[in-house]
Amino acid sequence: MKSCVFWVSIILLSFCVTTRSFAADQAVILNINTAIGPATQSYIEHGIEYAAAQHANVVILRLDTPGGLETSMRGIDKAILESPIPVITFVAPAGARAASAGTFILYASHIAAMAPGTNVGAASPVNIGDESPNISQSPEKKKSDIMSMTTLERKAQNDAAAYIRSLAELRDRNATWAEQAVREAVSLSANEALKAKVIDVVANNVPDLLHQINGHPVKVKGTLQNLQTDNLTLNEYKQDWRYALLSAITDPNIAYILLLIGIYGLFFEFYNPGFVLPGVAGAICLLLALYAFQLLPINYVGFALLLLGITFMIIEVLISSFGILGIGGIIAFVTGSILLLDIQSPGYTIAWSLIVMMTIFSVMFFLIVIGMTVRAMRKKIVSGKEALIGTAGIVLDISLENGLLVKIQGETWKAHCASPLMQGQKIRVRKISGLVLTVEPDL
């Protein structure tokens, strides 16, 4: 019996070791081919955690980005620096780039690699995320741009320069060029980057990359180790529904639309209780928009102007100000929409066409929908006793026995009148007190 238990234990132990070895002989691949934002940060962080749980040898971040948000870029860098597994950033395929924030991510990685026909650089924080940096500026133009920078922009540039220099020193890469990429927005091709010691490898594809870096020494969380990358299984970490949802709602244009739908839906529900659907949809859209703006660099002055503009347009419909509040509301709405996001990246701005379209929609919404509601509230009551006020009728009886009787809309009512009336005379209702009408002659 003991012998059976012993051999079963040996078999189970062997199975565990074999399974662990199989799980470890792999490279987890993460694909980024869009602007750096909260969604990409979450995807990379979860990808590194997944690779660690799988005991993978390396993480390969296949990168193609025009740049993005600084906060997300720093979050990604932090995840790479704290990763228990070597992270290799590979700018690929041909035609890809690691511009702006992508340059910082490349410098933070344990191994920096590029495919032929790719480029890196243009990492100025003033134009972070710019998809078309002017890398052919003359020295005079660059000097003029630097002189025209505000104090806040210079602070941001100095901070970014110090940050990328610290990454370069940590990974033993070209710190001088890294600072130039920040201050002068310079760029390099793959071969130029290799010669300048900006990257470690130029590879045609992932298998070629893994072959070249096999045995390459890297320092992971302060510990020096040699990479073992031969015969690794490639395991691509897919972008799930959470990434798709986060990527969608953190798009500034979608977040902007969700915000307005939320505000208008709730406003419509408050003015027309009982519809339910506008209120439910508005609440959901508003919560999604607020969550997105929590992740995006929102300008609270722009947000306040946006709400102020909507408020002015509402008041203009309810209380006519001869267009003063309406015009002021439109101006505040457009200005707030432009200033809503506190960032200069073209990838994270609200499209002008969308601002114009939503401004027109807002004006039409308040003029038509709210206007119809107000007119309905002011409309004459057409049912119940109150509907009789102002209605014309005729005197039926003025005898002392029955009192004054009048006929209104086919019904007989007791009535009172301050002036004498004659039988058959036309009257009009002015007041209702219980079941007695106060009438007057209809002249």
Does one domain contain both 195 and 98? yes
Q: What is the CATH number of the domain that holds 219?
A: 3.90.226.10
Structural domain contains residue 4: no
Structure confidence at residue 133 (pLDDT)? 42
Distance CA 264, CA 394 (A): 49
Does one domain contain both 117 and 199? yes
Structure confidence at residue 403 (pLDDT)? 75
Contacts of 144 (CB under 8 A, 6+ apart): none
How many domains is the chain built from? 3
Does one domain contain both 310 and 373? yes
Q: Which of 221, 242, 263 is the last residue of a domain?
A: 242
Contact 92, 102 (CB under 8 A): no
Structural domain contains residue 344: yes
**Residue 181 burial class via C-beta count within 10 angstroms: exposed 0-12, middle 13-18, buried 19 and up:** buried
Beta bridge mates, 26: 233
Structure confidence at residue 385 (pLDDT)? 63
Does one domain contain both 218 and 98? yes
Q: What is the CATH number of the domain that holds 412?
A: 2.40.50.140
Peptide linkage before 139 cis (omega within 30 of 0): no
Does one domain contain both 29 and 119? yes
Structural domain contains residue 12: no
Measured distance between the N- and C-terminal CA atoms of the chain, rounded to whole angstroms? 118
Does one domain contain both 148 and 233? yes
Structure confidence at residue 110 (pLDDT)? 95
Q: Which of the 8 DSSP states describes residue 78?
A: H
DSSP assignment of 184-210 equals T--EEEHHHHHHTTS-SEE-SSHHHHH
Residues in the chain: 443
**Residue 402 burial class via C-beta count within 10 angstroms: exposed 0-12, middle 13-18, buried 19 and up:** exposed
Q: Which of 363, 378, 393 is the last residue of a domain?
A: 378
Contacts of 175 (CB under 8 A, 6+ apart): 164, 165, 168, 169
The helix (run of H) or strand (run of E) holding residue 394 is strand 392-397
Structure confidence at residue 46 (pLDDT)? 94
Structural domain contains residue 11: no
Does one domain contain both 209 and 272? no
Distance CA 374, CA 265 (A): 17
To the nearest 10 degrees (0 to 180), the angle between helices 252-271 and 241-249 is 80
Does one domain contain both 118 and 153? yes
Structural domain contains residue 3: no
Structural domain contains residue 219: yes
Q: Which of 220, 242, 264 is the last residue of a domain?
A: 242
Structure confidence at residue 131 (pLDDT)? 40
- CA 15 from centre of chain: 47
Token digits of residue 387: 């509907």
Structure confidence at residue 361 (pLDDT)? 84
Structural domain contains residue 130: yes
Does one domain contain both 272 and 414? no
Does one domain contain both 278 and 327? yes
Structural domain contains residue 267: yes
**Owner of token pair 């005729």:** 394
Q: Which long-range contacts (CB under 8 A, 24 or more apart) does 438-442 make?
A: 439/393, 439/406, 439/415, 441/417, 442/392
Structure confidence at residue 47 (pLDDT)? 94
Does one domain contain both 161 and 207? yes
Q: How many CB atoms lie within 10 A of CB 285?
A: 22
- DSSP H helices, 250-385, are 252-271, 277-295, 300-318, 324-339, 352-364, 371-378
Q: What is the pLDDT of residues 336-358, one digit of tens each?
A: 888 888 765 556 678 888 888 98
Structure confidence at residue 52 (pLDDT)? 93
Does one domain contain both 263 and 192? no
Per-residue pLDDT tens digits of the chain, which is 443 residues long: 555 545 545 555 554 444 444 445 899 999 999 889 889 999 999 999 999 999 999 999 999 998 888 889 999 999 999 999 999 999 999 999 999 899 999 999 999 999 999 999 887 765 444 444 444 444 554 455 545 566 767 788 888 899 999 999 999 999 999 999 988 889 999 999 999 999 999 999 999 999 999 999 999 988 899 999 888 999 999 888 888 888 888 888 899 999 999 988 888 787 777 778 888 898 999 999 988 888 888 888 888 999 898 888 878 767 766 667 878 888 898 998 888 887 655 566 788 888 889 888 888 877 776 666 566 555 555 555 666 788 888 888 887 666 788 888 778 888 888 888 888 888 998 888 878 888 888 87
Give the domain range for residue 278: 250-378
